[in-house]
Structure 1
Amino acid sequence: IDSAAYRVLRARMQLGLFDSGEKNPYTKISPAVIGSAKHQEVALNAARECIVLLKNQKKMLPLNAKKVKSIAVVGINAGNCEFGDYSGSPVIAPISVLQGIKDRVGDGVKVVYAPWKSAVDGMELIQGVNFPEGLKAEYFDNTKLQGTPKVRKEEWINFEPANQAPDPFLPKSPLSVRWTGKLRPTVTGQYTLSFTSDDGCRLSIDGKMLIDAWRGHAVRTDTATIYLEAGKDYQLKAEYYDNRDYAVARLQWRVPQVGKVTRLDLYGEAGKAVRECETVVAVLGINKSIEREGQDRYDIQLPADQMEFLQEIYKVNPNIVVVLGAGSSLAVNWMDEHVPAIVNAWYPGESGGKAVAEVLFGDYNPGGRLPLTYYRSLDELPPFDDYDITKGRTYKYFKGDVLYPFGYGLSYTTFKYSNLQVADGEEEINVSFQLKNAGKYAGDEVAQVYVKLPERDEVMPVKELKGFERVALKSGENKKMTLKLRKDLLRYWDEAKGKFVYPSGDYTIMIGASSADIRLQKVVSVLQKDNYPMSHSEK
């Protein structure tokens, strides 16, 4: 604890956080530096390098923009930028996957976008032609809709800062908002309006109050039914306030169905988009309503409506690339069995959509690797509140079949490993080998060194990552790699002795492209002397 506190406080001192005024060099840096062009490039490169290619059956990726005629971009995260916890406010407008694809292909490829609609309750956001002039949005810096507001035009009522890209325009809570504008239905019939809010909301049409839930409350959804005529303009007014903590105001409706309706039709315009397009990019995943600080996940599955959505569009057009946006692993077993290509983008930040588009069209060869294991089911794992990982958690101790192993990631090229050499040093073991890019694309490989310690009476790890290096190689390029392993990493904690020990016996040195993809290995015989392994010989 003392060591951890020391490091944290030292870093704060180095940042000048205990100094005031002129003594603190960081107070002299303009906020504009944070969003400078140089830092924007850093954000873009970070997004590129983190992307992990999980599946690429029959080399579906990269897409050829000169041959692909049309792309349907669908899914819950297609048109928005999903940020993780503690994201700052970008200077540039965040780039969604939809925008990234449009910018990449220009007018040469037809791009059809279908806004997300869930079939769980049949509700969809009111937007587009239903608000023909958009909405006037007035933001007040108090909960009473008083004073001079900040005003702008918006396309919908979908206010949820925690699950949307940081927006410098928005005032901090407490706040209140009023949206007004023309509502124009396209279908005649009985509509169900749904207003989800945290704290308070009101909704009226043509001056008639339909929902009045202004008294403070936790997240809840209020509904009202109303008969509306197609093509007729109605005056809509929605009001909302947030006092503190989690803020959400979302106005949706269930549109009357006309004619025979299929299951896919319940997901809005997506069915039409995937039917008319050659290729589908489905942007799926989760957000801070499911995972964040103070919000643990209940399972590792993709939400049920997204999974059904994927299965339904697959029946219509199986030529699908899935882009996953999530901060943790997902048990996407059906997806792995059926969908040709899967790209894991994590929460890629302000330029994430541009980075994803570069990967999809081969402008950037993905080289990211998984820093965790993708399991097939929670049923295979010990209880989450049992912190003893030796009982079968993580790549070190889990012996079952996993979906994607720790360290895994595909590339558009192939890499060959050869000529493993292990040399002993005073405080390090030098592990060297030849690495060649044997494919047609330039790309990054993340070479990983794993070690299996000698067998003991105690439960020992199957293997442990002891070093890795990311290296960029041109097509055909061959490079000698040398990774130095500190000898103090070749020890384990002996609980009975209450100290670290270096076991005598055979150490297995493994080189691979993931924890499950070992390409080279040597068994090294080690003698314990002066608390360090001293000699080795190939077995």
Structure 2
Amino acid sequence: MKIAKHGMLGLALISMHLQVSAQKKQPAQPAVPKNALYKNASIDTEKRIQDLLQRMTVEEKVGQLSTMLGWDMYTKKGDQVGVSDAFKKAIAEQKIGNLWATLRADPWTKKTLETGTHPVQSAEATNALQRYAVENTRLGIPLLLAEECPHGHMAIGTTVFPTSIGQASTWDVRLIQEMATAIAAEARSQGAQIGYGPVLDLAREPRWSRMEETYGEDPYLIGQMGKAMVKGFQGTDLKDGKHVISTLKHFAAYGSPEGGHNGGISVVGARSLQQAYLPPFREAVKAGALSVMASYNSIDGIPCSANAYLLKDVLLQQWQFKGFTVSDLGGIQGLTSTHHVAENHVDGAAQALNAGLNVDLSGTGFADNLLKAIKQNLVSMATLDTAVGNVLRMKFNMGLFEQPYVTPATAGNVVHSNANQALAKKVAASSIVLLKNQNNVLPLSKHLQRIAVIGPNADNVYNQLGDYTAPQADGKVITVLKGIQSKLGATAKIAYVKGCAIRDTANQNIDAAVKAAQQADAVVLVLGGSSARDFETKYQSTGAAEVQKGAVSDMESGEGFDRVSLDLMGLQNKLMEKIVATGKPVVLVLIEGRPLNINYAADHVAAIVNAWYPGEAGGAAIADVLFGDYNPAGRLPVSIPKSVGQLPVYYNYLHAGRHDYVEMEAKPLYSFGFGLSYTQFRYQQLKTIVTSKQNSVAVNISFVVTNSGKVAGDEVVQLYLRDDVSSVVTPVQQLKRFERISLKPGETRELNFLLTEEDLKLLNRDMQWVVEPGNFTLMVGASSDDIRLTEKFNVPSIIKIQP
């Protein structure tokens, strides 16, 4: 009634009163002096952190723990880029300190070649974001910009390398480090400071949709690949403008979900967790990794996003981790909505931060929820400061307070350089695994007059690239068809027929494919799978694709596309059977993200080549292998099963009574470490010398390998170990060392490996790391089931190892 009586004057007076009250509750923050300690680059980082923390409000601190989705934070009008209103609002209201996937382009983000940015524009866009954050905030704290970088920076115009399962197939750590260095330089030149990757999930479930993102089924191989990626990403100086912080994914035990469900339940015991799933992360942390991402799953009922044992006891105390932790997208909210261990999102935010999770990937997991948790005394200021300090430390140590900007012209020169394109081809060629070569049908003669190139993956750009790939410009990607055409030029008549799709059964031209095969001297049949996303696919809030009934896209792999079967989908088997029936020599090329059922091919096709997702130069690399310009030496990082009924099937299973099934034998179709060559290798003269001291042991191993064939080639030498008798059940064999070597015909080389107590240790019944006395068996060979040399050695007394 008073408002009605006084009219607009009364409203104005009430409004003024509310504004004055708000100002009393939130006093203006003091201006920051130009000589503030945290602005002085010559001061010790820890002192800079403490100086800045004492100047920050609670809201500013919480903002530093938010990583918002970045692709809507810039604007693009013609050739001009700038900051969006959404970004200005995020800075003003949430005081955010980080962005993710700002430059990401794919059907989920709705960024295309037209609406996204090319490398120079990308650098201009990130500069604009940094400039606004620095110049329009009280403290001038620069942003940390994270980008997806598993097999190349997931942005327009960048170099696309083979996916991780292909990288692991190279068994070449030096090459993978070189690749990671190139990826980091491309990302950093465009303004990124963090690269998400590598994925260090131990993968024992090929039905799981993300097998392609992993390095396979063996902890040691994964760990070596992870170390190589971390060293390549981070280099030795993060201030050099060429390297990025590496974020390890997904911590932990994410890659073997029950039923193959992405993000599903992880059934893993405490000993298995320590001996199989955590070691790859430990190796990468020891190599200096500065960021770790918590996975979606739970372990023994504790979600990884709020698992203090993993995030504090293991990472900080045992491994002395020096970086920061981050949630997976929406992982903190999942404590409430998925795992149901938090009453509400405020409770979830408190649980996550208190457990040691520093940063929220989403921008909504902490934010207001964390502010409320602090107000309710669910989180202490000391805990908040620790998390914020971990983020600020990265910004100081990268030199961002002094130089948050990049030079756009540099991005134009660095991204997709000629050297990086050549490197992409080298990695692709090194990753190719020759599975079968009956009667030496390969390599094919370059003098063939008529060749039929057939199959849904023979000339499909996006099916060749894998998940986490940006849109590609026309002509940038070399498909198998283009690779063969370039290889042979006009000397041969090359007939191409698609034949069928990966999944769609309504549209096919198998008859035309058969006719082309009948008229050819040889057939290259390119089948497999696809992780290619399209604009018709629906996506979850996490970015994972949703399976839709009735969909006819090729996508049968990639995040969210789990399978109940490993069979080739659609009409691919029918196409293969019809082509084989022509009686012509058939070479099957598999382009895929997971091991698929190729039992028929193993029995009926003359040659099988597995290329996984080989990246932008994959077609050229495959052509080199098919026609003998490159001798394949890739080796399987994961076993290929004969049936899903065998799953899980992996080489390093624990000693147990494994036996054949009624329908088939228990062993896989192709075992871990397997791969053929166009030449042969002979192993000889295995020798071991054991030196044992009170708290250590050294096993020096030597042997020689000879190229006994007629052509030069690479061999991947593999050393396995078995603990013959132990107090707890141990694996039947474990990879402990490997090396990829090049040998000319007739050339011999001596290999020397050193094993220490770290390689011989186990977790005993008291959950203590020890080397137990007794006999061990060394196995040296060309794969896990192709052992050429064996020898036993003895450790005389127990060795206790510090965790």
| Structure 2 SS opposite 1:307 | helix
Distance in 2, Cα, partners of 1:471 & 1:348: 22
Residue 596 of structure 2, aligned match among 330, 335, 355: 330
1:318 and 1:339 in contact (8 A); partners too: no
* 1:329-381 alpha-carbon deviations (Å, 9 max, x no partner): 12211110110100000100010000000000000000100001111111122
* 1:249-302 alpha-carbon deviations (Å, 9 max, x no partner): xxxxxxxxxxxxxxxx85252122111111000000001221111222222222
In structure 2, the partner of 1:348 is 614
**Is 1:360 the counterpart of 2:626 in the alignment?**
yes
| Structure 2 SS opposite 1:449 | strand
Distance in 1, Cα, partners of 2:396 & 2:459: 40
In structure 2, the partner of 1:236 is none
Distance in 2, Cα, partners of 1:518 & 1:464: 13
Normalization by structure 1: what TM-score?
0.66
Change (3 A) 1:119 1:476: closer
Shift, 1:122, TM fit: 5.7
Shift, 1:30, TM fit: 1.4
**Is 1:43 the counterpart of 2:312 in the alignment?**
no
Shift, 1:18, TM fit: 6.4
* 1:453-486 alpha-carbon deviations (Å, 9 max, x no partner): 1223533211000010000111111011112223
2:589 and 2:609 in contact (8 A); partners too: yes
Change (3 A) 1:299 1:74: same
Shift, 1:498, TM fit: 1.6
Amino acid at match of 1:95: I
| Structure 2 SS opposite 1:272 | helix
1:115 and 1:270 in contact (8 A); partners too: yes
Shift, 1:9, TM fit: 3.6
In structure 1, the partner of 2:670 is 404
Bigger relative contact order, structure 1 or 2 (CA pairs below 8 A, ≥6 apart): 1
Shift, 1:416, TM fit: 0.4
Shift, 1:406, TM fit: 0.3
Question: Cα RMSD over matched residues?
Answer: 2.7
Normalization by structure 2: what TM-score?
0.45
Distance in 2, Cα, partners of 1:490 & 1:26: 47
In structure 1, the partner of 2:569 is 303
Amino acid at match of 1:45: K
**Is 1:518 the counterpart of 2:787 in the alignment?**
yes
Residue 481 of structure 2, aligned match among 98, 107, 122: 98
Distance in 2, Cα, partners of 1:27 & 1:424: 55
Shift, 1:515, TM fit: 0.2
Shift, 1:94, TM fit: 0.2
**Is 1:110 the counterpart of 2:376 in the alignment?**
no
Shift, 1:527, TM fit: 1.5
Change (3 A) 1:27 1:379: farther
Distance in 2, Cα, partners of 1:415 & 1:381: 32
1:54 and 1:341 in contact (8 A); partners too: yes
Q: Specify every segment of 5 or more residues in structure 2 that has no aligned partner in the other structure, as ranges.
A: 1-309, 326-389, 532-554, 659-665
What aligned pairs does 1:204-215 form with structure 2 within 5 A after superposition? Answer: none
In structure 2, the partner of 1:269 is 512
In structure 1, the partner of 2:796 is 527
Change (3 A) 1:37 1:266: closer
Distance in 2, Cα, partners of 1:84 & 1:118: 17
In structure 2, the partner of 1:75 is 455
1:512 and 1:518 in contact (8 A); partners too: yes
**Is 1:483 the counterpart of 2:753 in the alignment?**
yes
1:83 and 1:349 in contact (8 A); partners too: yes
Amino acid at match of 2:786: D
Distance in 2, Cα, partners of 1:525 & 1:120: 55
**Is 1:449 the counterpart of 2:701 in the alignment?**
no
Change (3 A) 1:114 1:407: same
Greater share of residues in strand: 1
Residue 34 of structure 1, aligned match among 415, 429, 434: 415
Amino acid at match of 2:469: S
1:96 and 1:354 in contact (8 A); partners too: yes
In structure 1, the partner of 2:762 is 492
In structure 1, the partner of 2:261 is none
| Structure 2 SS opposite 1:106 | helix
| Structure 1 runs (4+) greater than 4 angstroms displaced | 10-19, 24-29, 88-92, 118-122
Shift, 1:7, TM fit: 6.3
Q: Specify every segment of 5 or more residues in structure 1 that has no aligned partner in the other structure, as ranges.
A: 125-264, 383-391, 533-539
1:70 and 1:110 in contact (8 A); partners too: yes
In structure 2, the partner of 1:63 is 444
What aligned pairs does 1:280-291 form with structure 2 within 5 A after superposition? Answer: 280-288=523-531, 289-291=555-557
Change (3 A) 1:120 1:438: closer
In structure 2, the partner of 1:84 is 466
Greater share of residues in helix: 2
1:51 and 1:345 in contact (8 A); partners too: yes
Aligned length: 381
Distance in 2, Cα, partners of 1:26 & 1:396: 49
Distance in 1, Cα, partners of 2:716 & 2:497: 37
